Homo-oligomer: A and B are copies of this chain.
Amino acid sequence: MTYASNGLSGHASQPRARASINDVAVHAGVSAQTVSRVANGQTNVRPTTRDKVLASMQALGYRPNSAARNLKSGRFRSIGFVTFNLATLGNERTLNAVAEASEAAGYTTTLLPVIDPTQLDVAGAFGRLEEQAVDGIILVMSSEVGSLDELGITAGLPLVIVDSDANLPYTIVDTDQEQGAKIALQHLLDLGHRDIVHISGPADSFSSRRRADAYRQTMADANLPARPVLVGDWRAASGLALARELFAAENPPTAVFASNDQMALGVMHAIHERGWTVPGDISVVGFDDTEEAEVYWPALTTVHQNFDQVGRHATTLLLSLIDGEPNTKEKILITTRLVVRDSTGPVRPA
């Protein structure tokens, strides 16, 4: 007899033995099937029997084994979240939204190993990703990481991509970077600024690149010369360092458009320490609208990026893919909005 065989009788030396459905069945004097029915809240069980089973579950500390359930159902009720860099604000906020949305749908969110992009090609006979216990993957690309095929991701699992090159033949959800950069720049232009410097994120970042492109494009469209883009690394310190250099040179611009709020903070710091004022001497615009932006000194004018919506959309899309909906390779672009605060003002008289 194979029942009650997992050592539950439990010596102290065998601490972690977990009661199986059979243990409960034996304990309650019913069949495993009946225990299963009770565990799943099915109605066709006589109340007396149910109570007996419930008592046994209680007594044995029974908890269903999800591996067995997964094996049976072929589903894990979990979605995988892959990033190559969890430590950025946008990615964390996106993860947040994904975790909440998937929780609401009864799914769990699994953080998949952040593969070193340079090591992708050593992947073995099959990709590591898809053997994970997830039903689908949300991939936050952030930056160039070699082809997706190399990632070994394409084969089986439903996939939604966030923050990427929008030309990929996959379902994609993203912030409309171009639109965001344009409204920021237009605001500056409307204020009379003609000499605007852009501080970008790292060169390999998709979103940074698209904002920088929009900068060049917008300036060109306005028949204005674009200054060389200053390349930062998203961190406030890089904004500060770059701005210091910039302000030490001949002609400081009348406005700076930073590719995120943190670098904008650095720019304002550099302005303050020169004894200049924001926006009196120089206007500053950020990107993201972090929670702190409105409390910066002065309150930062910035582009509000809706990470929650990106995460929610990505999750919804992925869930529908998991449910077998046909993959329409939709591309969803979430619109941003400009939040005007105190860091921008009319250009200073020449």
Contact = CB atoms under 8 A, between A and B. Distances in A.
Nearest to A19: B156
A292 interface: yes
Given A108-B110, A110-B108, A110-B111, A295 B236 contact: yes
Contact of A240 (B64, B95, B96, B295): B295
Contacts of A67: 67, 70-71, 74, 76, 133
Copies in the complex: 2
B236 A133 contact: no
Contact of A112 (B108, B127, B240, B324): B108
A18 B61 CA distance: 35
Interface in A22-74: 39, 54, 57-58, 61-68, 70-71, 74
Interface string A271-303: 010000000000000000001101111010000
A315 to B, nearest CB: 12
Interface stretch (A164-172, A201-209, A249-257, A260-268): A260-268
A235 interface: yes
A265 B239 contact: no
A349 interface: no
Interface of A: 15-16, 18, 39, 54, 57-58, 61-68, 70-71, 74, 76, 78, 86-87, 92, 95-96, 99-100, 103, 108-114, 125-127, 130-133, 155-156, 235-237, 239-240, 262, 265-266, 268-269, 272, 291-292, 294-297, 299, 324
Given A66-B133, A67-B67, A71-B71, 8 more contacts: A39-B125, A64-B126, A70-B71, A78-B110, A78-B133, A108-B113, A111-B111, A133-B133
